Amino acid sequence: MEETQVREPSADEQSAATEAVAGETPVAQLELDVAARPPADETALKAVIEAIVYVTEEPATPAQIAAALGQPEQQVRRVLAQLVEEYSRPERGIMIREVAGGYQMTTKPEHHEAIRAFVKRLKPPLKLSMAALETLAVIAYKQPITAPEIQAIRGVSGVSALKTLLERKLITTAGRKNVVGRPILYKTTREFLVQFGLKDLSELPTLKEFEELRRLALSDGEPAAPPDAPAAGENQE
C-alpha cells in the first residue's frame, strides 16, 4: 500500500491564510462586540432621559425631551421604550409609564398599600417662619452663639424663634459662654443636617448663596419687610 505524503503549506500560502484570518475574524468579532454593548453616547443619553423623567412633575413627552437634548425624537422614543421595559421588571419598585402622551415615573400599584402605611408614619413637612429661618441661619454660620449675639445680628429679639427651633430639634444647647451672665450657647443638630440634606456643616452654602436663596424665597411669597421693620412674628417679643 502506497503511503500518502502530506504536503506542508508553503510560506506564501501560510501568509495568505494569516491575512485572511486577520482580515475577517476581527471584523466579525467587532460586530459582536458592538451588538453586545451600546455606544458610550447612547448610554449617557439613556441616563439623562431617565433623570428627566424622574425630576419632571408633569409627564415629559418625547418631543420635549428630544428638543431639549438636541436628539432625534425617534431615538428618544426608542430609549424610553427600553426604560419602560427595564422598570417593568419585578425587582423594581417604581415604573415608567405613558401618561397623556408623555412619560412619568410612578410607584407600582402592587406596592401602594405598603407605601401608604410608610407615608403615614412620616413626620409632617418642615415649615418655619422667616424669623425662625433667619435665626437658624445665624446659628448655623456663627455657632456656637448666644441669644444676645443672635439679637445683635438680626436686630430683633428671637426668643420665640429659638423656642421653635429647639422644639423642632434643629438646634440644641452647647454649654454656656464664659462671660458675664454666662449666657447659653446654641448650635445646630444632626436633625438640622437631615432636614436640609447636608453631609456636614462644610456643605452649607456661602453667605452670598444663602442671601440669594432668601431673596428668591421672598420673591415667591409675601413682599419683604422694610429694613428697619421687625421680622414677621417678632413684633410681640
Tell me where in the chain the CATH 1.10.10.10 domain(s) lie: 40-119, 130-220
Q: Which of 11-20, 105-114, 173-182 has the lowest mean pLDDT?
A: 11-20
What's the grid cell of residue 48? 439623562
Q: Is 226 a residue whose pLDDT tops 70? A: no
| Average pLDDT over all residues of the chain | 76
Residue 173 confidence class, pLDDT cut points 50, 70, 90:
very high
* Predicted model pTM: 0.48
Termini Cα distance of the chain: 122
Q: Which of 3-7, 40-44, 54-58, 164-168 has the lowest mean pLDDT?
A: 3-7
Q: State the average pLDDT over residues 175-181.
A: 90
Q: Which CATH number fits domain 40-119: 1.10.10.10, 3.20.20.70, 3.40.430.10, 3.30.2040.10?
A: 1.10.10.10
Q: Is 36 a residue whose pLDDT tops 50? A: no
Q: State the average pLDDT over residues 171-194.
A: 91
Residue 57 confidence class, pLDDT cut points 50, 70, 90:
confident
Is domain 130-220 in CATH 3.30.360.10, yes or no? no
**What secondary structure, in 3-state letters, does 50-105 show?**
HHHHHHCCCCECHHHHHHHHCCCHHHHHHHHHHHHHHHCCCCCCEEEEEECCEEEE
Q: Is 19 a residue whose pLDDT tops 70? A: no
Contact of 204 with 198, CB cutoff 8 Å: yes
Which pLDDT value is given to residue 220? 55
- More confident site: 126 or 172: 172
Which pLDDT value is given to residue 229? 41
Which pLDDT value is given to residue 14? 53
Radius of gyration of the chain measured on its C-alpha atoms: 32
Residue 10 confidence class, pLDDT cut points 50, 70, 90:
low
Of the candidates 114, 119, 53, 123, the residue with the CA atom closest to the CA atom of residue 82: 53
Of the candidates 71, 80, 78, 113, the residue with the CA atom closest to the CA atom of residue 98: 80
Q: Is 196 a residue whose pLDDT tops 60? A: yes
Of all residues in the chain, the percent with pLDDT exceeding 90 is: 24
- More confident site: 228 or 11: 11
Which pLDDT value is given to residue 9? 53
